[in-house]
Amino acid sequence: MEFRSDVITCSGKYSNNQQKLFSYGTAGFRTKADDLETVLFRMGLLAALRSKAKKAHIGLMITASHNPACDNGVKLVDPYGEMMVESWEAHATHVANASDDELAGVLHCIVTEEHITADHTAQVVIGRDTRPSSNTLHAAAVSGVEALGGKVVDCGVVTTPLLHYRVRCANDPSYGVASNEGYTDKLVETFLKLQSCAQPATSCAQPATSCYCQDLLFDGANGVGGLQMAIMAPRISQALKLTIHNGGEGQGVLNYRCGADFVKVSQSWPSGVPATPGSRCVSVDGDADRVVYSYIDELGAYHLMDGDKIATLVVGFLQEQLSEAGLALRLGLVQTAYANGASTAYVNDSLKVPVGFAKTGVKHLHHMALSFDIGVYFEANGHGTVIFSDSASAAIKEAASTDSPAARRLAAVKDLINETVGDAISDLLLVEVILRHRGWGMRDWDAQYHDMPNKLVTVRVADRSVFETTDAERRCTQPAALQPAIDDLLSTSFLHARARTFVRPSGTEDLVRVYAEAATQSHVEELALQVSRLVFDLAGGVGERP
């Protein structure tokens, strides 16, 4: 394959004229939108090469997820809706950073290394979120694909999970219809089927507060999730009465004081959503791949139901259905170091379901979840899904052909779940199915276990690359003096506080995240402060010392 310089820069329109270096991380490239136009063109080139290499449709999503509206980003999606393999992440970094003179050589190296031939026309499925910059970046990505003779399947403005779904369906028609409408129809029809055969509780100890309620406030983060839910809400209103707020149609600023990330980090009710005792709310993030719940009890107290709470609810339900169906399938949960210790203990000790720990980042959790027959993975931030192995899918399908209601329920639940990636809308529908089936209100769900007090803070450093971790990021190996200092803190000042803490570098910025967990909030505050100071002092903190 030949790469003419005028073609691979669109006659200089997408020349690399900046000094900034880019690194393809767990979320792809993500930074200020003004810096990304050339990067998007080059990711169009790379997506076309990846499609040729795999002889399959490849996805390209333009989004910065929960980041502020001034940011944007791009990530590539592999043929079955999974994240792009790590070896190609290195290719992406090289392509993004190459000078104009180097670019043809970098592309030639990829073609040679990956044994790419010209006998397959590239097919790239492209989606974008609602950010003001997304249209310009979309045009750049399309130009990149077409510069190598590829064809674009344009999904328009869609959620990230919908883009993943469409890539999977384009390569595996048995998974569903490869269109925006196909995604919507599959979720709506399966949800209504499950709700119609749910077994609501026949009696409740406290009928006013502990029975399932159809009313749900939806916080769309002023992003694309609100647009998607506006399409679906009227069709599912007989089973779930959604009131949409922060819907993304000029109602407010994307992700500003609303959405899943804000609610999780601030542990507070989203702006733009009325707060009254008894209210329950589900929040998604800007591209609708994260979801968290929250509610206000009768006394006006706020309660957060994050990814850990969702994971334990899902694991308990699946375990129950497998038992009722008589299916001996290995069920497991995958968490990250950010998972609340109380959730891990509940799944291990009460549900007796094995828990594995993976590095932060969906690709790491997804990979570990594949080791189970049915792998549930969730990050505490609300990003997660369930994966069924081929053998588990076959066993459930066979059992569902009998008179087993539980097996039929499992088969329908599998259809409701978006196995390709964490999907806020799919996940919230699954939560509602489980709550209705059990006859639970929010307090019943919340009572499964009680979270340990915790806090997440960030420390700005000169260079995040000096930090290295091990044990699924729960221990820091570099700087060498940091972990011993943390261990000393835990064994002395916080010995009796049931405390744990860890630090890890951000995947996209020169920030270090410090997580602290302990028996009381005062212990948490002090532990987070002490560890933040250690990070600042030992790693060249920037700005004011914590």
Which domains does the chain carry?
29-175 (3.40.120.10), 195-305 (3.40.120), 307-425+439-446 (3.40.120.10), 454-538 (3.30.310.50)
Contact 316, 348 (CB under 8 A): no
508 is in an annotated binding site: yes
Structure tokens at 421: 């990636």
Q: What share of the chain is helix, strand, coil (3-state, %, to 5)?
A: 40, 20, 40
Q: Which amino acid is at 147?
A: A
Report the pLDDT averaged over residues 181-197.
Answer: 94
User: Per residue in 243-283, pLDDT tens?
Assistant: 999 997 677 999 999 999 999 989 999 999 999 999 999 99
pLDDT at 198: 62
Picking from 390, 383, 445, the residue whose alpha carbon sits closest to that of residue 414 is 390
Q: How confident is the model at residue 101 (pLDDT cuts 50, 70, 90)?
A: very high
Roughly what angle, to the nearest 10 degrees, separates helices 521-538 and 482-491?
Answer: 160
User: Per residue in 273-301, pLDDT tens?
Assistant: 999 999 999 999 999 999 999 999 999 99
294 is in an annotated binding site: no
Report the pLDDT averaged over residues 27-52.
Answer: 96
pLDDT at 226 over 50: yes
Q: Which one of 5, 11, 65, 350 is the catalytic residue? A: 65
User: Per residue in 448-501, pLDDT tens?
Assistant: 999 999 999 999 999 999 999 999 999 999 999 999 999 999 999 998 889 999
pLDDT at 5: 83
Of 360 and 74, the one with more pLDDT: 74
Contact 464, 509 (CB under 8 A): yes
pLDDT at 206: 37
Print the SS3 string covering 183-200: HHHHHHHHHHHHHHCCCC
Question: 397-406 contacts: CB < 8 A, separation 24 or more?
Answer: 399/325, 399/326, 399/327, 404/324, 404/325, 404/326, 405/197, 405/324, 406/320, 406/321, 406/322, 406/323, 406/324, 406/325
How far apart, in whole angstroms, are the C-alpha atoms of residue 145 and residue 154? Answer: 12
131 is in an annotated binding site: no
379 is in an annotated binding site: yes
pLDDT at 539: 87
Structure tokens at 14: 């997408």
Structure tokens at 336: 């990250």
219 is in an annotated binding site: no
Average pLDDT, the chain: 94
484 is in an annotated binding site: no
pLDDT at 199 over 70: no
Q: Collect all residues with Cβ–Cβ distance below 8 Å to 301 and sequence separation of at least 6.
A: none
Rounded percentage of the chain residues whose pLDDT exceeds 70: 97
Task: Name the pairing type of β-strands 215-219 and 241-245.
Answer: parallel
For 374, the 3-state DSSP assignment is strand
pLDDT at 203 over 80: no
464 is in an annotated binding site: no
How far apart, in whole angstroms, are the C-alpha atoms of residue 238 and residue 241? Answer: 7
pLDDT at 204 over 50: no
Rounded percentage of the chain residues whose pLDDT exceeds 90: 88
How far apart, in whole angstroms, are the C-alpha atoms of residue 85 and residue 108? Answer: 19
How far apart, in whole angstroms, are the C-alpha atoms of residue 186 and residue 172? Answer: 15
Q: How many CB atoms lie within 10 A of CB 355?
A: 19
Contact 180, 155 (CB under 8 A): yes
pLDDT at 302 over 90: yes
- Environment class of 317 (CB within 10 Å of its CB; exposed 0-12, middle 13-18, buried 19+): buried
**Is there a catalytic annotation at residue 522?**
no
143 is in an annotated binding site: no
User: Per residue in 328-378, pLDDT tens?
Assistant: 999 999 999 999 999 999 999 999 999 999 998 888 999 999 999 999 999
Roughly what angle, to the nearest 10 degrees, separates helices 100-113 and 86-97?
Answer: 160
356 is in an annotated binding site: no
Q: Collect all residues with Cβ–Cβ distance below 8 Å to 196 and sequence separation of at least 6.
A: 239
474 is in an annotated binding site: no
For 216, the 3-state DSSP assignment is strand
Residue 355, phi-psi category: left (phi > 0), alpha (psi -120 to 50), beta (remainder) = beta
Picking from 436, 501, 496, the residue whose alpha carbon sits closest to that of residue 473 is 501
User: H or E element: which one contains 145?
Assistant: helix 134-147
Q: How confident is the model at residue 202 (pLDDT cuts 50, 70, 90)?
A: very low
Contact 28, 130 (CB under 8 A): no
Of 527 and 251, the one with more pLDDT: 527
pLDDT at 361: 86
